[in-house]
Amino acid sequence: MTVEQQPATEAPAAYLERYGQMLLIRLFETEMQRLFLKGEVHGTTHLCAGQEAVPVGVCSALEPDDYLAGTYRGHGHALAKGTDPRSLLAEMLGRATGVCGGRAGSMNVIDVAHGLVGCFGIVGGSIAAATGAAVTAKRQGRVAVAMFGDGATNQGYFHECLNFAKVLALPAVYVCENNFYGEFTPMLKVTGGGDITSRAAAYGIPAQTVDGNDVWAVREAALEAVQRARQGRGPTLLECQTYRHHGHSKADPAKYRPPEEVERWLARDPLNVAKARLAEQGIAEQEIAEVDDAIKARIEDAVQAALAAPYPDPAAENPTEFAP
């Protein structure tokens, strides 16, 4: 059964697996923060804790060979698309066993084997990359997805690519992870009209505002958008409203955010939202606890494997991410 034929409402067990994927991302980010503070992660890091429901919900609507372009806050994008946490964590530590041989670091991961065409440090770069991938995807019967933040919607990439995708009826899905801050600046202070979803109307593109902390809601919206793209009916814009739990990067304590705002969003942690929904659908606490234990063990294994892995030898190592 293809993805577009699957019903939006599935058995609770399917969402238990997706809860596990969100927990995998959360614990990965927790370890990234810990290892960074220990000096094991070099350069900078941009954590996506709090936003897990968006990549998991979107990627659950994709086929394995569909394309995804992520952002510099892209660890969750890679994991949701299928990148092995062992390979990804090793990459974050600059080890030879990393998915890019230890050369990409946190912001520039590529995993062609799983359809991840790249994570991009340039704001809006993922939009252009996914649009280019969609040109190829149209010939292949595939779909290309761009993940980007609210700040990217004020970049030229956003407007040019949406126009281009509409004109060529490209099988593209544009997913805005609106966490309401572009680095340290509130989105509403720099976004004309104060609304992202309505911008798609200028190009005649369907758009939807989605609860980005509810993996059920994200998946349902993504299924519809992916089906539209795969059927040759062109692009869709999804604005998934969510919230990052940490500051923009390692240097940001996020003191600019009102405490009551933070508390309100933390009360709707996507992991807690999913656990409550699973309980409503009859999933026992013991089943959830077993998933918790399995994911924790998987992350612990990834950390130990990465710390034990060698650093690459620039004189001997050859690029692997583009190898056939």
pLDDT score of 314:
80
Domains observed in the chain:
10-305 (3.40.50.970)
pLDDT score of 316:
76
- Partner residues linked to 111 by β-bridges: 116
DSSP string covering 114-155: GTEEEEESSTTHHHHHHHHHHHHHHHHT--EEEEEEGGGGGS
DSSP-based three-state secondary structure for 287: helix
CA dist 130 and 64 (Å) reads 16
pLDDT digits (tens, 9 = 90+) for 15-59: 999 999 999 999 999 999 999 999 999 888 999 999 999 999 999
pLDDT score of 29:
98
Phi, psi for residue 245 in degrees, rounded to 5: -80, -25
pLDDT digits (tens, 9 = 90+) for 235-283: 999 999 999 999 999 888 999 999 999 999 999 999 999 999 999 999 9
**For residues 150 and 187, is the Cβ–Cβ distance under 8 A?**
yes
Q: Which residues of the chain have pLDDT under 50?
A: 1-8
pLDDT score of 157:
92
C-alpha dihedral, 26 to 31 to 34 to 37, nearest 10°: -100
Q: How deeply is 52 buried, as exposed, middle or buried, from its count of CB atoms within 10 A (0-12, 13-18, 19+)?
A: buried
pLDDT score of 8:
46
C-alpha dihedral, 117 to 73 to 76 to 275, nearest 10°: -150
Residue with tokens 């569909």: 66
63's CB contacts (< 8 A; 6+ apart) are 2, 3, 142, 143
pLDDT score of 119:
97
What is the DSSP secondary structure assignment for residue 16, as one 8-state letter?
H
CA dist 281 and 302 (Å) reads 32
DSSP-based three-state secondary structure for 186: strand
The two tokens of residue 319 are: 């690029």
pLDDT score of 9:
60
CA dist 230 and 157 (Å) reads 23
pLDDT score of 319:
60
Residue (of 182, 184, 246) closest to 34 by Cα position: 246
Residue 155 C-beta-side C-alpha neighbours within 13 Å: 17
The two tokens of residue 176 are: 């805005």
Residue (of 156, 163, 86, 97) closest to 122 by Cα position: 156
Residue (of 65, 171, 57) closest to 112 by Cα position: 65
Residue (of 180, 171, 177) closest to 236 by Cα position: 171
